[in-house]
Amino acid sequence: MNKTPSFAGGERFAEEILMKFRGFVFAVTLLLGSFASMAVGQAAVREVRGPIWIAMPGSAGAMQSITVKPAQTGNLTVTVTGTVVYEHSFGTPGNYCLQLSPTSGNVGGCVPDSGSDSAIRSYLASDSPSTVPGFGASEQYSIVRTWPVTAGKTYTFYLNGYESGFSSAWLFQPAMTALFVPGTLAP
């Protein structure tokens, strides 16, 4: 026995509800399917922060590092940021260099005019005024570099550097961020 709703137009109303429900189920299925397929090829980020102060060595050395293992082949963009704080005395030249590298202690890009895209250098002439002891002067830094990476391989990147001629030099609030982007771009 086929029961129909007792009010006028009830059958059409029931069909509309059924169609809306089917549309809703279809939309949810598409949405969930999109999330599942998006997770296969999505970007990922890892960040390493601190400690708040890191003393800069007098000779080349690693001060901070980040290790990542990409699940897919693609590109890894590593960014280092922070502030160099130094104390300088009048009559003494000072300098520092920071380099982002996959090799611990590598500061080969710190050579003047070497054209490195992953190193920054700063020089202070001997006739520069002394800084206030305990406060010093500061300069912000930022280095960004992209490397191709292979799925399943572990990569470690280092912030290397040194200082020379300063009473003291420190990295303040240093941070390293690795951003993985799957695939590659065609030229």
Which residue ranges make up each domain of the chain?
8-40, 44-182
Q: Which residues, including other chains, have CB under 8 Å from residue 134's CB and lie 6 or more apart? A: 87
d(CA 36, CA 70): 18
pLDDT in tens, 131-168: 888 888 999 999 999 999 999 999 999 999 999 999 99
pLDDT in tens, 104-126: 998 888 876 665 778 888 888 98
- CATH fold group of domain 44-182: Jelly Rolls (2.60.120)
Tell me: pLDDT of 34 over 60.
no
Mean pLDDT of the region 45-66: 91
Q: What is the pLDDT of residue 113?
A: 62
Q: Which residue's entry shows tokens 């007792």?
A: 6
Confidence class of residue 47 from pLDDT cuts 50, 70 and 90?
confident
Answer yes or no: pTM beyond 0.75.
Answer: no
Tell me: pLDDT of 86 over 60.
yes
Q: Which residue has the higher pLDDT, 91 or 50?
A: 91
d(CA 120, CA 68): 24
